[in-house]
């Protein structure tokens, strides 16, 4: 019973993702022009981006806490949540490219949203490179924490503000309102909102495992 209380969210994660994959592939979807069956990517591409944003935001929170406390545990969570967020960002771009191939005619069309997403990921790759270039633990933690905060502050305008100020094929841009053309379909809602929770929990789960691996390495090093 104690084990169930401790790991209930992991069990929920597995169940939700199973439901997302199976249900997302089997439920009836609106037969919209051009989109057709590719609309099922709504359960993968979009929730992964939501999960990425949540994890990167949580990473920033841990970076701020680290700057206040200098507790390395907080820095561990900051980097591993960022790693999970970056991984989801890569998956988001790949699934987005696949979707674009069938709806826009090519994997990469230089759309403002695509370009902004790529730039945002490059900034976070810079965050990872910065950490690997600093040998001193405390200096690495503090400098990378500041970089993490500014990276997220740059990420939001790149992803959510600038693409809306120019013409874009991507839903959510100027004159192209998100997925409002089909988000009123109740069948899609049954999977979409739950999928956001499932993918986010998976990212946190991976981050938790990575944090534990870091602490084992610390103990081994000190011993």
Write out the H or E segment, with its range, that includes residue 83.
helix 72-103
Q: Is the pLDDT of residue 96 over 70?
A: yes
Owning domain of residue 123: 30-222
Identify whether 1 is part of a domain: no
DSSP three-state, residue 161: helix
Identify whether 71 is part of a domain: yes
The rounded distance, in Å, linking the Cα atoms of 57 and 85 is: 9
Query: What is the pLDDT at residue 171?
Result: 66
Query: What is the pLDDT at residue 108?
Result: 87
The rounded distance, in Å, linking the Cα atoms of 197 and 17 is: 9
Q: What percent of the chain has pLDDT over 90?
A: 50
Identify whether 190 is part of a domain: yes
Query: What is the pLDDT at residue 120?
Result: 92
Q: What percent of the chain has pLDDT over 70?
A: 87
Query: What is the pLDDT at residue 55?
Result: 97
More confident residue, 180 or 170: 170
Q: Residues with Cβ < 8 Å from 36, sequence gap 6 or more? A: none
Identify whether 5 is part of a domain: no
pLDDT bucket at 76, cuts 50 / 70 / 90: very high
- 64 class by beta-carbon count within 10 Å (0-12 exposed, 13-18 middle, 19+ buried): middle
pLDDT tens, residue by residue, 186-208: 778 888 899 999 999 999 999 99
Identify whether 19 is part of a domain: no
The rounded distance, in Å, linking the Cα atoms of 92 and 166 is: 21
DSSP three-state, residue 174: strand
Identify whether 11 is part of a domain: no
How many distinct structural domains can be found in the chain? 1
Q: Is the pLDDT of residue 176 over 50?
A: no
Query: What is the pLDDT at residue 175?
Result: 45
Identify whether 195 is part of a domain: yes
Query: What is the pLDDT at residue 202?
Result: 96
Identify whether 41 is part of a domain: yes
The rounded distance, in Å, linking the Cα atoms of 95 and 44 is: 7
pLDDT tens, residue by residue, 18-64: 999 998 888 877 777 766 777 888 889 889 999 999 999 999 999 99
Strand partners, 176: 173
> What's the pTM value of the predicted model, to 2 decimals?
0.88
pLDDT tens, residue by residue, 105-118: 888 888 888 888 89
């Amino acid at each position: 019973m104690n084990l169930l209380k401790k790991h209930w969210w992991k069990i929920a994660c597995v169940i939700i993702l199973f439901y997302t994959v199976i249900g997302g592939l089997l439920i009836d979807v609106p037969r919209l022009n051009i989109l057709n069956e590719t609309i099922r990517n709504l359960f993968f591409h979009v929730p992964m981006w939501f999960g990425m944003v949540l994890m990167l935001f949580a990473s920033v929170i841990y970076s701020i806490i680290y700057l206040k406390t200098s507790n390395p545990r907080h820095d561990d969570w900051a980097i591993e949540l960022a790693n999970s967020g970056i991984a989801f960002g890569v998956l988001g771009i790949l699934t987005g490219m696949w979707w674009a191939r069938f709806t826009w005619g090519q994997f990469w069309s230089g759309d403002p949203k695509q370009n902004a997403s790529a730039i945002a990921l490059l900034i976070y790759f810079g965050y990872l490179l910065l950490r690997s270039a600093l040998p001193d633990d405390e200096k690495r933690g503090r400098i990378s924490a500041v970089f993490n905060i500014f990276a997220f502050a740059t990420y939001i305008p790149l992803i959510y503000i600038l693409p809306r100020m120019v013409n874009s094929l991507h839903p959510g841009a100027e004159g192209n309102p998100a997925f409002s053309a089909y988000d009123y379909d109740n069948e899609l809602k049954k999977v979409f909102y739950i999928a956001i929770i499932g993918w986010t929990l998976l990212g946190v789960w991976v981050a938790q495992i990575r944090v534990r691996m870091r602490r084992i390495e610390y103990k081994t090093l000190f011993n």
